[in-house]
Chain A
Amino acid sequence: MKRPPFWRNIRVIRAALQIVAVAVVVGAFLYLGNNLRNELVAKGLPTDFSFLSQPTGVNIADSDFDPASPVWRALLVGIKNTFLLVIVGIPFLTILGTLIGVARLSTNWLVAKAAMVYVETLRNIPPLLIILFVFNAVILQLPPPRDPSTPLDWFVISNLKITGPGFAASSGAGALLAIALFAVLAAVIVGIWRTKYSETTGHHSHRVLWSLGVFVAIVLVGYFLTGRPVSMSFPDLDGRVITGGFGGLGSYFAVLIALVMYTASHVAEIVRGSIQAVPKGQTEAANAIALSGFQRLRYVILPQAFRIALPPIINQYLNFAKNTSLAIAIGFTEITLITFQAIGNGYPAPQLILLLMGAYLLFSLTISLLVNILNRRLQLVGN
């Protein structure tokens, strides 16, 4: 068969198209990058990342940040604050969202309707609005720091900072931590042993109780052996200084509460949809073997629903992480606000914004990776 002329040869056309596409994109990048460089130079602004080692010049709330520290240190503080929002928010929003999603399907008309109102209200309002509302109408309504409320003497509550009881570690805490890790290992081993036991003998494994019991026993023994290195620390108010305890800025809680409530409303819809997507036959079969409503939910419906729900829920986690950037509106010093501050104080914007995007990409990728591992383990074989 004669080969078609090269301008009609499909392989040539394909190769040519790709070369053109790549050339256009790379060319555009080089052109824009060059413009960027020239404009920066013409205005006397730096074009590299050396500004990162210059002193920041400002303090950062609720941290020991020293104004003489370099800019990259400040950015790290921002990342730490964003991390604190994400790591606390994700578990809470998952729990809240699941509860509300299940409530939406409750047979109790009042509960179902209340859940529906919650979801339909919060889902349709911009998250920024919710943050502003929680900050202004809730957090700022707390007593001012000059006159905080101290219920039970265990808490110090002001609109600046909310502190509660926490843990204080003294020497020996490191050893206790090692013992705790060992205890986890032991608990896992015990759990596996009990499962095997139940498989061979058919008796109840009670593996949760056994594992927990082993863990608690080892930790308690270790606690006393290491000389009780961890104790409760209560916040102590001395004029304006609060020592001890564990707390966070008022703006932190505003962002946390607002975004948890907002994202939970989306998760509730996903959970509801995934429960409804479990084939009806499953419910009927569970009823046929006389499982109670709660048992049906726990052993049949939820595990299957969870598998369906996980990919969209990953998305909601990512959205939560990205929405923390809205904290800039109420002055919580997460990474976006710190970048914004740096730009305002004269550091070059294009480089800083690039770093900011990189930071969020890191968060997105980490969350994606971690939850995808879970997702892969849950996938049905052969799917």
Chain B
Amino acid sequence: MTEPKGRSTAEDAAGLVERSAAAYASAVPVRPEDDGFFGPASVTWRVSADLSAPVAGLRSLLLQALHPLAMAGVDQHSDWRTDPVGRLAATSAYEVTVTFGDRAGARRVAQRVRAIHTHVRGVDTVTGQPYAADDPALLLWVHAALVDSGLAASALFGTPLTDADADAYVAEMTVAAELLGVPPEMIPDSVTALKRYIAGVRPELRRTPAAAESMGYLLDPPGLDEDIAELWQDIRDAAVTALPDWARQMYGYPEPPPLTAERRTEIRQALGVLDAVFLGEPGVLEARQRLTVRTRSAGKV
């Protein structure tokens, strides 16, 4: 969804793949009324379906968590400790619905999130500042981290976008922020504007204890199936590699080794194996086929 997740003494992450897959399978619409806010010919669909998408998702959570007020909202209000896997699955279901659902469906889930956000208020214990989840400034940060991560992950580990497509992606995605109540004039609509915005927010960012704790959990989730855990190491390293240097330094993660062609292949292979496992979960193949049929009938193969 739109908030970073945090966790510490949280439940373990068993069933991560199964629950995410179930969320995905049910969120891809069976009989959409229209092509939604993006559509089969959009760059957004391509980025969302890219092999690198799990890296983008993890990187965006890492980035989102560096905003102390966004992090505080999640830390104090979400159910991540008792149900971390369910929390992540709900987040991915939201993103899938907004991306691939019809307009009514996307509006419906966005309304639901906005209703929840009105209750998410409090004071961040680290900065002492009050926060509100419906504050456009926080929503925009969460949005920008997501879009920036889609660009970074596909450039490093997926199918890189042309400059024009990258701009198109940022522009297309503005509607996702609007759906959650960010005034359109605030939302970056080009890669340059996005980078400028992120640079402007940087002074507010820091690694709070909640961020360190929850992201530590996410990078090394306890209770993963042994075989998935093996793959997760690659996804995690890829996400950390794809972070901006300053973000990595805030977390205190070591400088990653240079990304050689071999290492990139290895990470892509891990993503491929993960995808095959994902595809084997009930309903995922059918959901993919629904999207393939729509993409092809839109004239894009």
Please indicate whether A and B come from the same complex rather than being unrelated chains: no
